[in-house]
């Protein structure tokens, strides 16, 4: 097009091309039209058809500025805000059949809204998903910059998983089958019974920490079922911070507890009278308490042999064994706790009963059938109870051995097989015959030819 002349009238100024058609028009409102003699807006470009126009206009409210791409009706256009509340925003809109719709907005805070006119975040989408990358190949969203990649969301072309990465290292991986790996990129390689979450790999030490308030909170792992709408837990592992209790439960109830001093099964306190099983952490004892049943069952299923073995300094000192229907107590010494003698009486001293009951050391109540004792002071004493074996390490009360094996203080020489009776001074002497009588203490098992007082190994019959 060649410009041949400039025209002017009361309404506009025109630039005419060589075909005598007005090419550029400037009207009295200073609207400029290219390809149109009736510009509607500040800049109006029109090619004579209803497509691919560029229109820079002022809206009907005279405050909104548009850059239109399309027809005069604005098939697509960019506009500034039309009110004081959004006058510094930039909107991308489109119109179809006369209906105007806003697709995206950038507000004065730099927030970007897609599908919303009030974005509240840097990127705010409403009612639609967001696709990053192509429909195939690897994709990533980077947080940080090329020099400081704090982490990124990454989806490789293959296999089918998404991950959070630092650099090129996968920190958390979620596979399409729902399995999640933390520090492990292939949780599906592990047992199908427990690979929904796999933490760590097969190198180094790995673990999970559950932190909770140290004063009143629990750290818990619950095992739920679908028996109710609330998905009530069936079992649990729980740590109670303020009591330092690690508890295990089934069917919504605690069944086992481990604290700083005791391991408890089917009980939740340290009272030995409470029904349940307990093991003290210092190795002091293993206990079991119930109401009406046997506290312990020892069952050797097949061959005869030991049911229980007793050791001292890791040396076997005795056992309980079974042979057919016979239970044997091997290395057995029957002992009774008693009182009545001083705690400096020598082990092996012969004692006899008196007409008084021993008492419980903790309650002071009488102990049924437990007689008090004295040092035997009658030759051939028929009330011989036994010999002093030791003092209890718990109550410091005397323990008297009356059956089984024991050591006896004997005056005079003795031979294996001799029967012993009281010498009347707390020692024993050889009985004058070999008939077991009420006065018989026991039988010498290892003889000793010394004539003075000495400890002699015996098997005891008294008590």
394-429 pLDDT, tens digit per residue, is: 888 999 999 988 899 999 999 999 999 999 999 999
Contact 111, 119 (CB under 8 A): yes
Q: Quick one: tokens of 30? A: 């200073």
- Please check whether residues 25 and 118 belong to one and the same domain: yes
| Section 294-307 average pLDDT | 90
pLDDT, mean of residues 114-133: 77
Q: Tokens representing 220?
A: 């818990």
Q: Which of 1-15, 158-172, 208-222, 445-459 has the highest mean pLDDT?
A: 445-459
Residue range of the domain that includes 312: 298-328
pLDDT band, very low/low/confident/very high, at 24 (cuts 50, 70, 90):
confident
State yes or no: pLDDT of 131 exceeds 80: no
- What backbone torsions phi and psi does residue 188 show, to the nearest 5 degrees? -70, -10
Torsion of CA 451, 453, 455, 457, to 10 degrees: 40
Give me the residue label for tokens 């190994």.
Answer: 457
Tracing tokens 């069936």 back to the chain, one arrives at 234
Q: Give the integer Cα–Cα distance in Å for 436 and 463.
A: 13
Specify whether 121 is located in the same domain as 173.
no
Number of folded domains in the chain? Answer: 5
Residue 204 lies in a domain: no
Has residue 251 been placed in a domain?
yes
Tokens of 317: 């000192």
Whole-number average pLDDT of the chain? 82
Do you find a cis peptide bond into 159, omega within 30 degrees of 0? Answer: yes
Three-state SS for the chain is: CCEEEEEECCCEEEEEECCCCEEEEEECCCCEEECCCCCCCCEEECCCCCCCEEEEEECCCCCCEEEEEECCCCCEEEEECCCCCCCCCEEEEEEECCEEEEEEEECCCCCEEECCCCCCCCEEECCCCCCCCCCCCCEEEEEECCCCEEEEEEECCCCCEEEEEECCEEEEEEECCCCEEECCCCHHHCCCCCCCEEECCCCCCCCCCCCCCCCCCEEEEEEECCCCCCCCEEEEEEEEHHHCEEEEEECCEEEEEECCCEEEECCCCCCCCCCEEEEECCCCCEEEECCCCCCCCCCCCCCCEEEEEEEECCEEEEEEEEECCEEEEECCEEEEECCCCCCCCCCCCEEEEEEEEEECCCCCCEEEEEEEEEECCCECCCCEEEEEEEECCCCCCEEEEEEEEEEEEEECCECCCCEEEEECCCCEEECCCCCCCCCCCEEECCCECCCCEEEEEEEECCC
pLDDT mean over 165-185: 88
Could you tell me the pTM of the whole model? 0.56
pLDDT tens-place string over residues 207-257: 999 988 877 788 999 988 777 666 777 899 999 888 889 999 998 889 999
Task: Return the CATH number at 364.
Answer: 2.40.300.10
Is the pLDDT at 307 greater than 50, yes or no? yes
pLDDT surpasses 90 at 57: no
Question: Per-residue pLDDT for 362 more than 70?
Answer: yes
Question: Is 419 found in the same domain as 388?
Answer: yes
Shared-domain flag, residues 307 and 320: yes
Mark whether 308 and 405 lie in a shared domain: no
Residue that finishes a domain, picked among 91, 125, 159: 125
Q: What is the structure's pLDDT at 194?
A: 93
Residue 85 included in any domain: yes
Check: CB of residue 185 under 8 Å from CB of residue 202: no
- Please determine, for residue 52, whether its predicted confidence score (pLDDT) is greater than 50: no
- 131 lies in some domain: no
Please list, in sequence order, all residues whose beta carbon lies within 8 angstroms of the beta carbon of residue 152, skipping any fewer than 6 positions away: 140, 141, 142, 143, 144, 164, 165, 166
**Does residue 53 register a pLDDT over 60?**
no
What pLDDT is stored for residue 438 in this prediction? 93
The answer to whether position 212 is within a domain reads no
Cα separation, 264 vs 270, whole angstroms = 8
Burial (Cβ within 10 Å: 0-12, 13-18, ≥19) of residue 150: exposed
Do residue 302 and residue 362 come from a single domain?
no
C-beta of residue 24 within 8 angstroms of C-beta of residue 8: no
390-to-345, 348, 398 alpha-carbon distances in Å: 10, 9, 6
C-beta separation of 177 from 159 below 8 A? no
Do residue 150 and residue 110 come from a single domain? no
269 in Cβ contact with 279 (< 8 Å): no
The answer to the question of residue 421 being in a domain is: yes
Point out the least confidently predicted range of 19-23, 198-202, 297-301, 343-347. Answer: 19-23
Please indicate, yes or no, if residue 422 is contained in any of the structural domains.
yes
Asked whether residue 344 is domain-assigned, the answer is: yes
Give 368's contacts (C-beta < 8 A, 6+ positions apart).
357
One domain, residues 310 and 398: no
Question: Do 256 and 304 belong to one domain?
Answer: no
Tokens representing residue 259 in the block: 């604290």
pLDDT mean over 188-213: 92
Distance between CA atoms of residues 102 and 117, nearest Å: 8
Q: How far apart are CA 326 and CA 341, in angstroms?
A: 38
User: Is the same domain home to 363 and 450?
Assistant: yes
> Looking at 269, 289, 309, which one is the last position of a domain?
289
pLDDT(289) > 80: yes
The CA distance from 202 to 367, in Å, is 62
Tell me, yes or no, whether 311 and 342 share the same domain: no
Lowest mean pLDDT among 83-87, 162-166, 337-341, 448-452: 83-87
Question: In the predicted model, what is the mean pLDDT of residues 32-39?
Answer: 74
- Between the alpha carbon of residue 247 and those of residues 191, 232, 250, 279, the distances in Å are 26, 18, 10, 15
Q: Which residues make beta-bridge pairs with 388?
A: 400
Residues 337 and 320 reside in one and the same domain:
no
Residue 353 has pLDDT above 80, yes or no: yes
Q: Are 198 and 206 in contact (CB under 8 A)?
A: no
Residue 430 has a pLDDT of 97
What's the pLDDT score for residue 158?
74
Tell me: pLDDT of 93 over 50. Answer: yes
């Amino acid at each position: 097009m060649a410009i041949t002349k400039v025209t002017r009238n009361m309404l506009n100024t025109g630039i005419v091309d060589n075909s005598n058609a007005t090419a550029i028009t400037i009207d009295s409102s200073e609207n400029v039209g290219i390809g149109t003699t009736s510009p509607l807006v500040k800049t109006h470009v029109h090619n004579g058809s209803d497509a691919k126009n560029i229109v820079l206009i002022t809206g009907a409210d005279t405050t909104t500025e548009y850059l239109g791409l399309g027809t005069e009706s604005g098939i697509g256009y960019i506009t500034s805000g039309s009110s004081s509340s959004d006058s510094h925003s930039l909107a991308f809109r489109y119109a179809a059949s006369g209906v105007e719709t806003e697709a995206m907005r950038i507000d004065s805070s730099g927030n970007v809204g897609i599908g919303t006119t009030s974005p509240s975040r840097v990127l705010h989408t409403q009612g639609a998903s967001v696709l990053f990358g192509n429909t195939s190949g690897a994709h990533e969203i980077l947080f940080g910059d090329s020099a400081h990649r704090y982490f990124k969301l990454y989806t490789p072309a293959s296999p089918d998983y998404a991950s959070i990465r630092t650099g090129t290292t996968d920190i958390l991986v979620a596979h399409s089958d729902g399995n999640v790996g933390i520090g492990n990129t292939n949780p599906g390689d592990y047992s199908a019974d427990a690979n929904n979450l796999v933490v760590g790999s097969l190198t180094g030490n790995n673990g999970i920490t559950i932190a909770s308030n140290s004063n009143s909170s629990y750290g818990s792992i619950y095992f739920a079922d679908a028996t109710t709408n609330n998905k009530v837990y069936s079992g649990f592992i729980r740590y109670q911070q303020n009591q330092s209790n690690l508890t295990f439960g089934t069917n919504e109830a605690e069944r086992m507890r481990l604290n700083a001093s005791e391991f408890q099964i089917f009980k939740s306190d340290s009272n030995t009278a409470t029904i349940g099983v307990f093991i003290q952490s210092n190795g002091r004892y293993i206990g079991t308490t119930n109401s009406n049943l046997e506290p312990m069952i020892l069952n050797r299923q097949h061959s005869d042999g030991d049911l229980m073995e007793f050791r001292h300094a890791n040396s076997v000192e005795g056992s309980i064994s079974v042979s057919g229907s016979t239970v044997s107590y091997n290395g057995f010494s029957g002992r009774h706790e008693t009182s009545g003698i001083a705690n400096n009486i020598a082990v092996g001293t012969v004692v006899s009963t008196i007409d008084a009951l021993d008492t419980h050391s903790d309650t002071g109540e009488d102990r049924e059938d437990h007689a008090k004792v004295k040092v035997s002071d009658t030759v051939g004493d028929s009330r011989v109870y036994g010999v002093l074996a030791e003092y209890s390490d718990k109550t410091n009360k005397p323990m008297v051995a009356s059956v089984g094996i024991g050591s006896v203080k004997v005056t005079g020489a003795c031979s294996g097989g001799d029967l012993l009776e009281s010498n009347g001074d707390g020692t024993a002497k050889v009985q004058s015959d070999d008939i077991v009588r009420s006065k018989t203490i026991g039988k010498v098992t290892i003889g000793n030819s010394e004539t003075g007082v000495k400890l002699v190994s015996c098997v005891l019959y008294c008590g």
